Amino acid sequence: MDLFCPLPKSNYPHVLLAHGGGGTLMHQLLKRVFLPAFANDALRQNHDSAVLDLNGTRVAFTTDSYVVRPLFFPGGDIGALAVNGTVNDLAMSGARPLALSAGFILEEGLAMETLERVVGSMQSAAEAVGVPIVTGDTKVVDKGKGDGIFINTAGIGVIEHSLHINPRQIQAGDHILVNGDLGRHGIAILAVREGLEFETTIASDCAPLADCVLQLIAAGIEVHCLRDLTRGGLASALNEIAETAGLSMALNENSIPVREDVRGACELMGFDPLYVANEGRFAAFVPAAQADHALEILSAHPLGQGAALIGQVTPKAVAPVLLQSRIGATRIVDMLSGEQLPRIC
C-alpha cells in the first residue's frame, strides 16, 4: 500500500465496501452525508460515544453494528464482539458501562443452533463485564438478503469522574500509550477466512477494556483522550484524533508492539500492522509527567501485559501522524485508504 497516494477525493455515486472500512472513504461519508444531516453538538464531539447530561449525571451513549465474517473465529465470535465492542466504545469516554441493547437481523434459514451459540456467547461476554442486555429486537430478512446474523448493540454508561475525555483535550507533549501488541484481531479473521495456517494459532485480542480504563482514572491519571483501535487500526485512529485536535503525533516504530507471528503474517500478505483492526486494544493520551505511572498501571492489568509508550503529541507538523521507522527515516502515516479487510467487525 502506497501511503502517499490517497484515493481521489471525488464523490462516489454508489456505496463501496471501503465506505465501511474505517479509513478515508468512511470519513468522507461521515463528513459528506451524516454530519451535515444530523448536525448537533454531541455528534460533533467526533468520539466513540456521545456524552449527554441527564439531570446532572453525565451519561455516555454509543452504538455499533457487527457484520463480521465468519461468525466464529479464534479468540471470539460475533456475539462476544458485539458486547465487547460497545463496552469498549463506552470505556473510551471513561464511562462505566451500565446496560446494553441488542438488535438482531437474522437471515431466513439460519440454523437455530448457530443463533443459540451466538446468544450464549453474548451473555457470557455480558456477564464477564457485569453489564446486562436489558432490551432487544429481532428482525428476519428473506434468504439471500442478509448474511446469517447481523447484530447491533447500543450501550449506555455513567461517567463518574470530572475528566472530559475526547480528542479536543489532547495537548502537545502528551504521551501516547497502547495496552498491548497490535494486529491480532484482523489477522485471526483473515487466517480463518482464507484458510491460512501459521505455526501458532493467532487468536483475536477481542476483550472488554472498561476495567483497564477505569483503573487508570481511579489512579488519578489525567487521561486526555482514549480510542480503541478497531477498523483502520492504530494509523486511522491516530489520524482521526490528530485532525480533530489540530495537532500532530510522532511515533517511534521500534516501540510499537507487534507479535512476531503477526508481523510475519502481515509481511506475507502485504499488510501493514498499523492498519490492521484490533478489538481489545486502545491508545491513551496522558500528560508526559504521568506517562510512567500510567504505563505501570496498564502493565499490571491482565489486558495491559504488553503495554507500551509509542510516541508523543506534537504541535501541528507536515502531516497528522509521523513515524520514525526502525531504520531512522521519518515517514507519514496516512489514514487507511481503500479497504484492507472488509467485514472485520
**Residues 132-166, buried b or exposed e (16+ Cβ, 10 A)?**
ebeeeeeeeeeeeebebbbbbbbbbbebeeeebbb
Report the residue number, 11 or 162, with the smaller CB distance to its own copies. Answer: 11
Least CB distance to its own copies at residue 73 (A): 17
**Shortest spacing between CB 211 and its own copies, in angstroms:** 20
Q: Which is nearer to its own copies, 23 or 76 (CB)?
A: 23
Task: Considering the complex, state which of residue 79 and residue 304 has its C-beta at the smaller distance from its own copies.
Answer: 79
The rounded distance, in Å, linking the Cα atoms of 82 and 314 is 35
Query: What single DSSP character describes residue 30?
Result: I
Min dist CB 233 to its own copies, Å, is 17
Least separation in angstroms between residue 204's CB and its own copies is 18
Q: Which is nearer to its own copies, 99 or 269 (CB)?
A: 99
Residue 279 CB partners (closer than 8 Å, separation 6+): 76, 81, 84, 85, 88, 185, 204, 205, 206, 207, 228, 230, 345
Q: Using an 8 Å Cβ cutoff, are 67 and 147 in contact?
A: yes
Q: Which residues, in sequence order, are bridge partners of residue 141?
A: 107
**Smallest separation (angstroms) from its own copies to the CB of 338:** 13
C-alpha cell at 35: 454530519
Q: 287: how many CB neighbours lie within 10 A of its CB?
A: 15
Question: Cell numbers 491480532 correspond to what residue?
Answer: 184
Least distance between its own copies and beta carbon 218 (Å): 19
- Minimal distance, residue 286 CB to its own copies, in Å: 25
Residue with Cβ nearer its own copies (146 or 180): 146
Residue closer to its own copies by CB (options 194, 199) is 194
* Cell numbers standing for residue 302: 491482565
CB of 212 to its own copies, least distance (A): 22
Question: What residues contact 18, with CB distance under 8 A and at least 6 apart?
Answer: 7, 24, 25, 26, 338, 339, 342
Question: Grid coordinates in use for 112?
Answer: 437455530
Q: For residue 79, what is the enclosing H or E element?
A: helix 78-91
* Closer by beta carbon to its own copies, 149 or else 266: 149
Contact 278, 345 (CB under 8 A): no
| Nearest CB to its own copies, comparing residues 43 and 128 | 43
Q: What are phi and psi of 295, to 5 degrees?
A: -65, -40
Minimal distance, residue 103 CB to its own copies, in Å: 4
The residue among 29 and 189 lying less far from its own copies, judged by its C-beta, is: 29
C-alpha–C-alpha distance, residues 326 and 309, integer Å: 15
**Is the dihedral angle over the CA atoms 253, 318, 233, 162 positive or is it negative?**
positive
In the Cβ-directed half-sphere of 104, how many Cα atoms lie within 13 Å?
Answer: 19
